[in-house]
Amino acid sequence: MTSTTPHLPVAIVGGGQAGLSVSYHLQQRGIDHLVFERARAVHAWSSQRWDSFCLVTPNWQCDLPGHPYDGPDPDGFMKRDEIVAYLRAFVAKVNPPIREEVSVLRVESAEGGGYRVHTSAGDYTADAVVVASGGYQRPIMPRMAEKLPGSLVQVHANAYRNPAQLPEGGVLVVGSGQSGAQIAEDLHLAGRRVHLAVGDAPRCARFYRGRDVVAWLADMGYYEMSVDQHPLRDGVRDNTNHYVTGRDGGRDIDLRRFAREGMALYGALEDYADGTLRFRDGLKAALDAADRTYNGINAAIDRHVAENGIPAPEQAPYRSVWEPEAPVTHLELAGSGIGAIVWCIGFAPDFGWLDAPVFNGAGQPKHRRGVTAQAGLYFIGLPWLHTWGSGRFGAVGRDAAYVAAAIETQLSGPSLGEAAAQPHGTVPGHGAGHAAAHP
């Protein structure tokens, strides 16, 4: 770094809803900062979602800072283009100081305190850094993908758009979490022959006893439960999300019903060798476990209704509409008619650019509601950062307010970068002590 290296009180890495929520709250506190976004603000919602994508949570749960949902259908589920419009309106309201199409290449501690921030557009120093890049940067593709025939089209869920994108013939969808189950449904409704490798994702009802299950759970305080209060503690961060959909006004996703209608279900995909796909003998156990979760959530609602004397129509537990016969653990690819695979096995975080001793043995950041033990380093937008909604529109704003308050406390004390910052220049248009405008 040189004497002309610009200095920032706060550098925010990531221009999605999490980073912009922090920007909103920093502006409310008059704290100068700059957001770095490697693409365009909130770009992932328009560039990494399929055409029929919609929210699985009702619109009333969309409550970004200063930007609650105010449309005509609070109980509905915004479709992809509506989500993009909602987020673009949020960007306009926040009007963040942002450098778009600028990648942060490395962040490291600076001598005397603070951080050195190396970007594709030059270097900065900062008193504080907020990591708002999320936990879903790197699409997971298994090594077995390299062994599959080159004639087989392979796409990850983030690159899937619609059934017409894939060649004619059958499609193998690997993974039955939220993305896998919804993409399998999308293909199934389009009349495609779908083969689904089912994992251990749980499921839940869309509506139960006359209301959206999300509304019941909100009344029961589930969404206010912190990670410290959850029975699994930090382990809940590794949980797979329940599959359900908001499509066509919202409904359950019942893989057994799909199977009865012709979808081929298998256990988890384990390997490919000698022209054969090999699946785990675990389909029945996976379906049964998902249904136990489904009925267990509904039973908790039943208890809530009974304990509080709430008038609500009775509804029977879910009962299986289809059972697998002898498990299919081997499938010859050549004779299967499968011409494409959609990998829906998740994403991995990518914090390789961050040089700081804040990670556990699994490479996950250690923090308490986004505040790490490393002075001036914060995280935002991660699943269960504090509550279930931390990585969603519903609660990321509250976490951002907490992080912004922690930053304000940090900056009001002796500046971590005071000694190093004195000889440095400042970013044009970024005077300390006020919210910056666009550079």
Q: Is 140-343 a domain of CATH 3.50.50.60? A: yes
Domain boundaries, given as residue ranges, for the chain: 6-137+349-426, 140-343
Helical H runs in 213-328?
213-219, 255-260, 283-308
Instruction: For residue 379, name the pLDDT band (cuts at 50, 70, 90).
Output: very high
Q: What whole-number distance in Å separates Cα of residue 24 and Cα of residue 29?
A: 9
Residue 405 pLDDT > 70:
yes
Report how far residue 305's alpha carbon sits from residue 317's, in angstroms, rounded to the nearest whole number.
15
Report d(CA 300, CA 88) in Å as an integer.
38
| pLDDT exceeds 60 at position 41 | yes
Spatial contact of 200 and 345, defined as CB atoms under 8 Å apart: no
pLDDT at 240: 86
* 317 has a pLDDT exceeding 90: yes
Cα angle 344, 156, 389 (rounded to 5 degrees) comes to 55
- Report whether pLDDT(417) > 70: no
Phi-psi region of 114 (alpha: psi -120 to 50; beta: other; left: phi over 0): left
pLDDT band at 310 (very low <50, low <70, confident <90, very high): very high
> What pLDDT was estimated at residue 167?
97
Residues listed for the chain: 439
Q: Do domains 6-137+349-426 and 140-343 have the same CATH topology?
A: yes
The mean per-residue pLDDT over the stretch 86-101 comes to 98
Fold entry, domain 6-137+349-426: FAD/NAD(P)-binding domain (3.50.50)
Q: How far is CA 365 from CA 127, 229, 354, in A?
A: 19, 19, 11
422 has a pLDDT exceeding 50:
no
Nearest to 158 by CA among 176, 132, 137, 184: 137
Full-model pTM: 0.91
pLDDT 10s digits, 192-241: 999 999 999 999 999 999 999 999 999 999 999 999 999 988 888 888 88
Tokens of 349: 């975080």
